[in-house]
Amino acid sequence: MVMGSLRQETEVAVIGAGPGGYVAALRLADLGKDVLLIEERARPGGTCLLEGCIPSKALIHAVELCDAARRAREIGLTFGEAKVDLDRLRAWTASVVSGLSQGVEGLLKRRGVEVVRGRARFHGPRSIAIEGSEVTGVDFRQCVIATGSRINELPAAYEKPVWSSADALQLPSVPESLLVVGGGYIGLEMGLVYAGLGASVSVVEFHPRLLMGADPDLVEIMVKQASGRLHEIIYESKVVGVERTADGFRVDIERDGQRTAQEYRQVLVAIGRRPNTDKLGLENTGVVVENGIIRTDRECRTADPDIFAIGDVTSGPMLAHKASREGKVAAEVIAGHGGAFDNRAIPAVVFTDPEIAWTGLTEREAQDQQVAVKVGRFPLAALGRARTLGRAEGLVKVISDAESGLVLGVGMVGPAASELIAEGTLAVEMGATLEDLMVTIHPHPTLSEALMEAAEVAAGAAVHVAPRKGERQGG
């Protein structure tokens, strides 16, 4: 290791190699820029790849196979009880993660992006100091901040060793009983994984319902399906104390001022994330931070025109696909090609079983914003392909402008909702109308037909839904 000061110069410095930062770096390199990527972790991929979306989806897939095997009994197939080999499951998940991470490494290498391991901190508006690296500093012309977010620190009431979602993804064990604190998407996904692996899982949520961002009708259908796999869901309650006991935790839960104490073998806390903007030395730049969030414009530019910010450190949902898109916008703007994050819809997907997904305007937002909408709902029970899968519980709905028929949003719950939402997002992004969805031929028999059918319902021209008595359909 070279000691002392080794400074480097680069055209563009990208801080953070998550799905925002590495995408920005690759695109910048493709557009002819000299790029230096600074990453604190040993591998590229960020939270999403290393301790978020990817490993959780691998585990969810495993659990879904178990469920499918159990459900198969109903259609005349009986398998033995699934045996889970935690070590192999853990190893397989790790191999998925490392395979993808190596893939990213290869992409960066082939494009000549220099990757520096260390912790970056702005020293001035055009220079970064790097801790823990032989390259101690970088002078740049332009910079992209893509430092992402971290799990909210545990409130004082908690005592280690409760789990964070990152801990839970390591599959330390399958506890007999598990309390998940927080009924957001991370809590629900992880809770259902552990339930599928055999734990008795309870979820405690502060609000009167789960998944506050999603429409209640979608959540309701999912909860009805999932509640059979969960021990209980405790609404409108908060954890006020967690105490270590001999073989687990004693948890004080408060509801309407009433406290009750419960014993759990393990506690998993999933209470949100916060942007990594506080230890970056941003006070040495012109970047403006409000409530921990970096203010950016449509070009992903901060108040300092040569510093860009993308992903979880900026406003909007903390989602990998939003960060990636912003990474491309920032890269194109820096390379002088122009670009803007003017996306109309950022899809949200929850990998519960059944899956929930929505994009664009939700029905609840339409109410809050007093947008006059026509909503078409199509139940999967009326869809041939859903029946053949034995998964007829679910719903696809289209939220359209009451006057023009413009598709403003799509929401769905059911099998493969995570895949089907892409068409809804395209519709919103393109400014498609109900007619566009109705006229487009959807292959039969597939789940994708549900969106076309829902559009027909919204337009009052559905053939597969019985009209109400005394009501003739238009269209």
Partner 1 sequence: MFEFKLPDLGEGIHEGEILKWHVAVGEAVREDAPLVEVETDKAAVAIPSPRAGAVVRLGAAVGDTVRVGDVITVIDDGATATRAGEARSTAPPAPAAPTAPRRPVPAAPATRRLARELGVDIEVVPATGPAGRVTPEDVQRFAAGSPPPAAPAVASAPPPPAAVLPAGEAGAEAAFAAHAASTIPLLDIEPMPDFATWGEIEREPLRSIRRRVARKMVTSMILVPHVAHMDEADVTLLEEFRQRERARRAGQPGGKLTLLAFVVKAVTAGLRATPAFNASLDPFREEIIFKKYYNIGIAADTGKGLVVPVVKETDRKSIVQIATEIEDLGGRARDGRLEIDDMRGGTFTITNVGPLGGTAMIPTINYPEVAILGMGRVQEKPVVRDGQIVIRRMLPLTLAFDHRIADGADAARFVSEMVRQLSDPNLLLLET
Annotated catalytic residues are 444
Distance (Å, rounded) from C-alpha 318 to C-alpha 321? 9
Residue 41 in contact with residue 119, Cβ under 8 Å?
no
Q: Any idea what DSSP says for residue 34?
A: -
Instruction: Report residue 208 as tokens.
Output: 């009167």
Residue with tokens 């903007």: 277
Helix (H, G, I), strand (E, B) or coil at 471: coil
Q: Pseudo-torsion of CA 135, 312, 291, 11, nearest 10°?
A: 40
Give residues with Cβ within 8 angstroms of 152, minimum separation 6. Answer: 271, 272, 273, 274
Cα angle value 63/79/226 (rounded, 5°): 35
Distance (Å, rounded) from C-alpha 269 to C-alpha 180? 6
Q: State the residues that interact with partner 1 by CB under 8 A.
A: 152, 272-275, 278, 282-293, 295, 301, 303-305, 315, 337-340, 342-344, 368-371, 401, 404-406, 408, 429-431, 433, 435
Distance (Å, rounded) from C-alpha 224 to C-alpha 233? 11
- Reported as type and span, the H/E element at residue 122 is strand 119-124
Is the previous residue joined to 317 through a cis bond, with omega within 30 degrees of 0?
no
Distance (Å, rounded) from C-alpha 16 to C-alpha 13? 10
Q: What does each C-alpha distance from 57 to 51, 174, 214, 302, 456 come to in angstroms?
A: 11, 17, 20, 33, 33
Residue 289 in contact with residue 295, Cβ under 8 Å?
yes
Report which residue type is found at 458.
A
Cα angle value 391/392/393 (rounded, 5°): 95
Identify any residues that bridge with 4 across adjacent strands, giving them in sequence order.
none
Report which residue type is found at 5.
S
